[in-house]
Amino acid sequence: MPFAFLLRVLSAMLFLLLPMAGHSATDAPLTPLRVGVLEFGTVNWELELIQSRELAKKRGIDLKVVALASGDASTIALQGGAVDMVVTDWIWVSRQRAESNLYTFVPFSNAVGTVMVKADSGIRQVFDLKDKKLGVAGGPSDKTWLLLRAYAQRKLGTDLAQYAQPTYAAPPLLNELMLRGQVDAALNHWNYTARLEVLGMHALIDVPEILRGLGIDRPIPMLGWVFREDWANANSAALKNFLAASYEAKAILASNDAAWDPLRPKMRAENDAVFKALRTSFRAGIPTCSDPRSAATVAETFKILGETGGDKLVGKSRTLSAGTFWPGFTLPACKPS
């Protein structure tokens, strides 16, 4: 891992340790905080480290992890008050805010999806996907698929939904279809593409390249901690302490290989190569600094998604709702590039 990257992570960690000052066993009782996560989701890796090292507890937080069955179950649990926060995307937050449901977002991960192909597929660029079977994780409204469609429209002047033959499937099934040769290419989530890479497949195009093709030249958070704005205002100190614990865990996972060993059962890695690929991919998605231009970049991306996905994805609004990003917690500023 590049030294400059580690330096940024460590500086972020030192900054985030500040909220711990003054807390001790004799302080007020721990504040309960309920986090809803997919039962086998990658968020559990970070939460396991937070729990095992008591990163939240030493900041006065009694962290309760609530296992949920699906992404829809997560947002339903949040809306119903069964949990205090979940991990989801800013599209959902913006749409809710446009309907006066004031949820808000703090970046969790920049990890992105990738189109994977076999080395002998003959597919070398997006243009080569013509009439090919393209597997897509999720459904027609998946944001990565919509960005890829927007990219193809701009670069090829065609809608990839007609240019190729999209097949929609759940991420595990999509990998199976790829391995069986039942699709020619697969647009899957980062933790599944890591497994395909181990098996000798390679990236055709990933989200950063797609975004650059759409005129967006910097990384954006794809997923974040999401919670109600009124709850955040009423529990600001506890929330900031939890987020500090989250980013301390990220700093540890970014730089300490040994910290990953206890997480291996939750990672369900089939072998050492997959374990290392998952670790590398997770690290690549860690936000390490705060770019004041992120909100504007996300707003630009949201507009593109709205043009491609329409009301079904973003609702009636074609602009990112004000307040989508919670202003109460930021990392140290990124150094100018």
pLDDT tens readout for residues 70-103 = 878 999 999 999 999 999 999 999 999 999 999 9
Higher pLDDT, 330 or 272: 272
Q: What domains are there in the chain, each with its CATH number?
A: 3-110+221-314 (3.40.190.10), 114-213 (3.40.190.10)
- Average pLDDT for residues 234-253, to the nearest whole number? 96
pLDDT tier, 11 (very low <50, low <70, confident <90, very high otherwise)? very low
73: exposed, middle or buried (C-beta count within 10 Å: 0-12, 13-18, 19+)?
A: middle
For residue 260, the model assigns a pLDDT of: 98
Q: How far apart are CA 201 and CA 96, in angstroms?
A: 38
For residue 337, the model assigns a pLDDT of: 57
Residue 99: count of CB within 10 angstroms of its CB: 12
User: What Cα–Cα distance (Å) separates residue 214 from each residue in 102, 307, 336?
Assistant: 29, 13, 22
Q: What is the pLDDT of residues 12-62, one digit of tens each?
A: 444 444 444 445 444 679 999 999 999 889 999 999 999 999 999 999 999
Contact by Cβ (8 Å): 256, 262: no
Residue 117 has pLDDT above 50, yes or no: yes
- Average pLDDT for residues 162-168, to the nearest whole number? 96
For residue 70, the model assigns a pLDDT of: 81
For residue 313, the model assigns a pLDDT of: 84
Q: Helix and strand tally (H, E) in the chain?
A: 15, 10
For residue 24, the model assigns a pLDDT of: 47
Higher pLDDT, 334 or 162: 162
Give the lowest-confidence range in 9-13, 102-106, 157-161, 319-323: 9-13
For residue 293, the model assigns a pLDDT of: 79
pLDDT tier, 238 (very low <50, low <70, confident <90, very high otherwise)? very high
Give the lowest-confidence range in 8-22, 62-76, 114-128, 242-256: 8-22
Residue 161: count of CB within 10 angstroms of its CB: 18
Average pLDDT, the chain: 89
pLDDT tier, 217 (very low <50, low <70, confident <90, very high otherwise)? confident
Instruction: Return the closest-CA partner of residue 194 out of 132, 123, 283.
Output: 283
- Pairing relationship of beta strands 114-117 and 185-188 according to DSSP bridges: antiparallel
Q: Is the pTM value of this prediction over 0.85?
A: yes
Residue 253 has pLDDT above 50, yes or no: yes
Q: How far apart are CA 286 and CA 221, in angstroms?
A: 9
Residue 118 has pLDDT above 70, yes or no: yes
Measured torsion, CA atoms of residues 38, 228, 317, 217, in degrees rounded to the nearest 10 = -70
Residue 10 has pLDDT above 60, yes or no: no
For residue 286, the model assigns a pLDDT of: 93
Look up residue 325 and give its DSSP letter.
Answer: B
For residue 116, the model assigns a pLDDT of: 98
Q: How far apart are CA 198 and CA 193, in angstroms?
A: 9
